[in-house]
Structure 1
Amino acid sequence: MTTTAPSAEGVAPADGVPPRRARERRPSRVRAADRRRRRSRGPASRRPLRGPLLLLSALGRAIWAAAGPVLTTISLLGWVVLVAAVGSLVAGLLLGWQELVFLGCTLAAGLVVATFFLIGRSDYDVAIELTPHRVVAGDRARGRLVVTGRKRRSAPTRVELPVGGGLAEFVIPGVAAGQEHEELFAVPTNRRAVIIAGPAVSVRGDQLGLVRRVLRLTDRVELFVHPVTTRLDSSVAGLVRDLEGETSKKITNNDISFHALRAYEPGDDRRYVHWRTSARTGQLMVRQFEETRRSQLAIVLATDRRYYASEDEFELAVSVAASLGAQVIRDGTRLDVVTEAFPLRTRSVTALLDDSCRIEPTDTGLSARDSVREATKRLAKPSVVMVVGGSLFGVGDFRAIEVLYGLDTQTIGFRVDPGEPSRMMSVSGLEILSVATLSELPRLVRRVT
């Protein structure tokens, strides 16, 4: 009986063919390399076609780059007429129907005539002017389209100007060199928004709409429709102790701004004993200081649509948050204004109101506490947090937000509810203001601060 020496993998080969178990024990990196080689080789029939395919692809891109601008001038109706013309001519010639040949010739002639309407150059400059660029919701805003001729008299053309969700069309007559032609239009500002005017485009084409050439003339211009706000009284809310802050009238035992001396009381820190005065009077005297404070206020506007009963309620909430933020900025207090979607700029009142125009209802799916935590996790710890929500923003939601911050942070809730009278209520130290109208906000804020 002849024995065979074991292979390197510990399994004896039979008839020179390794068993299946031996093949399965090959290292995984070797098997992966084999698969990559097989994929890279591919079928032999594909390799000769790679060169011609690349050539055809490059040729197609070159043809489209040259013919694309011409083909895109044909509208959908123009393509239908072109297909109908070709189909009628072919069918008429094959079937011997003169009527179809006549129809095809008529349709083709219509396309040829339509192309003559594309001839001409727009030799003029166009500018869009909005007056003013920032308005309050409900105020009037007007726009002006100014067309100025260049070197030669331009041919009459039609100019389209998108304004918000609408489209304004102007028929511009021929304008001589250096001459100006203006068109006035009104901008709807009944709702807070950022209204985009432009870009203005010149449109050339036939009256049937078979061909159409569009040339962009201007960039977009933004009109900011600010929310309605109300002026509030200056407030000192949101102050926390800070040696680099402003001096207040509150007297404290330890700070940096000296105020006066008083008699020593048990428990006073001996570091603040004024020994020279104590030796002169024969009684221990300690220093008193004026407390220095700084302010760090955060306004959180809940934008989740499940907290609001109507669109008007949401707009009132935006107005309340904008009014609070604008007054805090005027007072020179450091401020952060955030929503679930994005933080608002607070370097100036104008920047804050501009960003408030972009606030829209959202669908976060998070709880009020989680939403506020995500929105304020990168902010400095505030001394006062003002939370603005709708009528469906419950007391439990305000309480859940209050828990996020320590005892040094005061939480004030503003619940917008046009269906209820304006009032203030306190729930375990948490102040909640119910705001029915924007005009009631100053009175409610005075009661809190």
Structure 2
Amino acid sequence: MSLTPTRTTMPEDARREGVLAALIAHLVRGVAGAASTFGRWQAQVGSVVTARGWMTIAGGLFALVVGFMWGWVEAIALGSGLLIVAVAASAWLFGRGASSVDLTLPVSRVVVGEPANARLVASNPGPRRWGGVRLELPVGARTIEWALPAIPRGGSFERSFRVPAERRGLVQVGPTRTVRADPLGLMRREIVWSQTVELRVHPRTVAIAALSSGFIRDLEGSPTRDLTASDIAFHALREYLPGDDRRFIHWKSSAKTGTFMVRQFEETRRSRLVVVLDLDPEAYVDEAEFELAVSAAASVGARAIRDARTVSFVVSGRVGEGGRAGAASAMRELPTVTRDRLLDALCTIERDARATTLADVSRAAAEAMPGVSLAFLVTGTARAVTELRAAASKLPGGVETIAVRCSPEGEATARTVAGFTVFGIGYLEDLRAMLARTASVA
């Protein structure tokens, strides 16, 4: 018996269905490609034709349709005129307007109120003259415009301008763009030439000498009342006990008394400085109080960083959707690696209607930062002294707390309430003077 392979033939209906499926798939791919191309074309055209231009084109087409349907020559003439104007407006779109545009910002950081200048250079190294366009440069909330003249080959167009730095913040400069537009505003073509640069406007600070001398200076550590057998701060002499380190035997005293005497020391601990800035808007009467508070807190933090002190700068966190803030979200710590990093972060700090209470911030700081020896609570005059006392009570015992209430042009005051100090300042110089007096008394 011989086995011969049998050939299976596909039914005619199945072949037709396969061909139809292939045609449908090809048609779908073609439609998708056409839609993608149309989308790109629409995006390009949409970025050139203004709203007024679309209204002109739509009005022209509508007038032509009505004119041809009803035989109105006037409507046909109106529609033709509108479309001709739209086509003629596209003639203003040709050309680049320059070969290169450079935007330079000599300094990226300034103190509020200081002048900040930038420089713009449009050059043309090409063989043809360029120009006849408008140069636009966004600077913060406003836009600077120049009419760019025709630049010959090898020529340039230079302008210097001032960047506003009257208020603390982050000012966006750029990007630079050339704009070609027709006189009627139907067509507008923009070409971006430069990246966006940022100017950081730092809060004003004042040099605080008290952080380098006086009661908060401890190059080796702050002595405590805890006694130890080995440290730096000498306390007294006592008789030798078995197990004491013989290196600390005081031989002169031992010779006088006839008994071995050893040195006894006060245990020293490296202090940690914490600055807490209140972001609750209800703590401040107006924006001026908040700006003074930011400057006061920045002055203390900047000086501590300069003195190579262990410092933590904390601002209020945000209350969650449930109306409560967890320990992790009750505060936000700003970078204190360098002075500039801290001031950069303070550029964008603003009051927050959902800020946690000052007491919650103090409690979170105490839990997250062990070893705190000195704390500054910086706030406004709308924050009552009782609230300051409650916030100070959340810090560990033995922590020296200084509350700073800011009132621009107000009278400088200093008082001690329930074991902690409350400063009232009207100027940054008041803070420097009060810290210096406190240090000299201590």
Give TM-score scaled by structure 2 length: 0.80
Q: Give the 3-state SS of the residue equivalent to 1:264 in structure 2.
A: strand
Q: Say whether 1:256 aligns with 2:227.
A: no
Contact preservation (8 Å) 2:139, 2:173:
yes
Match of 2:87 in 1: 112
Show the 5 A alignment for 1:160-179: 160-179=136-155
Match of 1:26 in 2: none
Show the 5 A alignment for 1:116-265: 116-152=91-127, 153-233=129-209, 234-235=212-213, 237=215, 246=220, 253-254=227-228, 256-257=230-231, 262-264=236-238
Q: Give the 3-state SS of the residue equivalent to 2:352 in structure 1.
A: coil
The alpha-carbon deviation at position 388 of structure 1 amounts to: 0.4
1:295 and 1:309 mapped to 2: Cα distance? 34
Worse-superposed segment, 230-239 or 158-167? 230-239
Q: Say whether 1:393 aligns with 2:367.
A: no
TM-superposition CA deviations, 1:9-36 (whole Å, max 9, x none): xxxxxxxxxxxxxxxxxxxxxxxxxxxx
Contact preservation (8 Å) 2:236, 2:265:
no
Q: Give the 3-state SS of the residue equivalent to 1:407 in structure 2.
A: coil
Q: Give the 3-state SS of the residue equivalent to 2:114 in structure 1.
A: coil
The alpha-carbon deviation at position 239 of structure 1 amounts to: 6.9
Match of 1:436 in 2: 426
Give the direction of change, closer, same or farther, for the CA distance of 1:399–1:169 in structure 2 (3 Å limit). Answer: same
Contact preservation (8 Å) 2:305, 2:336:
yes
2:224 and 2:396 mapped to 1: Cα distance? 22
The one-letter code matched in structure 2 to 1:185 is F
Contact preservation (8 Å) 2:229, 2:263:
no
Q: Say whether 1:79 aligns with 2:54.
A: yes
Match of 1:9 in 2: none
Match of 1:322 in 2: 298
The alpha-carbon deviation at position 71 of structure 1 amounts to: 3.2
The alpha-carbon deviation at position 112 of structure 1 amounts to: 0.6
Q: Give the 3-state SS of the residue equivalent to 2:372 in structure 1.
A: coil
2:79 and 2:38 mapped to 1: Cα distance? 27
The one-letter code matched in structure 2 to 1:116 is A
The alpha-carbon deviation at position 350 of structure 1 amounts to: 2.1
Q: Give the 3-state SS of the residue equivalent to 2:92 in structure 1.
A: helix
The one-letter code matched in structure 2 to 1:333 is R
Show the 5 A alignment for 1:13-24: none
2:250 and 2:41 mapped to 1: Cα distance? 96
Structure 2: give runs of 5+ residues left out of the alignment.
1-23, 318-331
The alpha-carbon deviation at position 413 of structure 1 amounts to: 0.8
1:72 and 1:247 mapped to 2: Cα distance? 65
The alpha-carbon deviation at position 337 of structure 1 amounts to: 1.1
1:158 and 1:350 mapped to 2: Cα distance? 37
1:260 and 1:207 mapped to 2: Cα distance? 86
- The structure 2 residue matched to 1:313, chosen from 274, 281, 289, is 289
Contact preservation (8 Å) 1:230, 1:439:
yes
Match of 2:45 in 1: 70
The percent of aligned pairs where both chains have the same amino acid is 32
Give TM-score scaled by structure 1 length: 0.79
TM-superposition CA deviations, 1:216-246 (whole Å, max 9, x none): 1111111122222211112455578xxxx71
Q: Say whether 1:297 aligns with 2:273.
A: yes
Structure 1: give runs of 5+ residues left out of the alignment.
1-49
TM-superposition CA deviations, 1:182-224 (whole Å, max 9, x none): 0122222221121111011111121111011111111111112
Give the direction of change, closer, same or farther, for the CA distance of 1:227–1:54 in structure 2 (3 Å limit). Answer: same
TM-superposition CA deviations, 1:404-449 (whole Å, max 9, x none): 2211422211111237421111112111111122221111112333
Contact preservation (8 Å) 1:259, 1:287:
no
The one-letter code matched in structure 2 to 1:443 is A
1:436 and 1:374 mapped to 2: Cα distance? 29
Query: RMSD in angstroms over aligned alpha carbons?
Result: 3.1
The alpha-carbon deviation at position 279 of structure 1 amounts to: 6.3
Q: Give the 3-state SS of the residue equivalent to 2:200 in structure 1.
A: strand
1:96 and 1:86 mapped to 2: Cα distance? 15
Match of 2:14 in 1: none
TM-superposition CA deviations, 1:332-369 (whole Å, max 9, x none): 11111121254322222222222221111111253222
Q: Give the 3-state SS of the residue equivalent to 2:61 in structure 1.
A: helix
Give the direction of change, closer, same or farther, for the CA distance of 1:132–1:259 in structure 2 (3 Å limit). Answer: closer
The one-letter code matched in structure 2 to 1:76 is A
TM-superposition CA deviations, 1:349-392 (whole Å, max 9, x none): 22222222111111125322224445675445422221100111
Worse-superposed segment, 103-112 or 430-439? 430-439
Match of 2:358 in 1: 368
The alignment covers a number of residue pairs equal to 397
Give the direction of change, closer, same or farther, for the CA distance of 1:413–1:83 in structure 2 (3 Å limit). Answer: same
The alpha-carbon deviation at position 88 of structure 1 amounts to: 0.6
Contact preservation (8 Å) 1:137, 1:225:
yes
The alpha-carbon deviation at position 91 of structure 1 amounts to: 0.7
Contact preservation (8 Å) 1:248, 1:290:
no
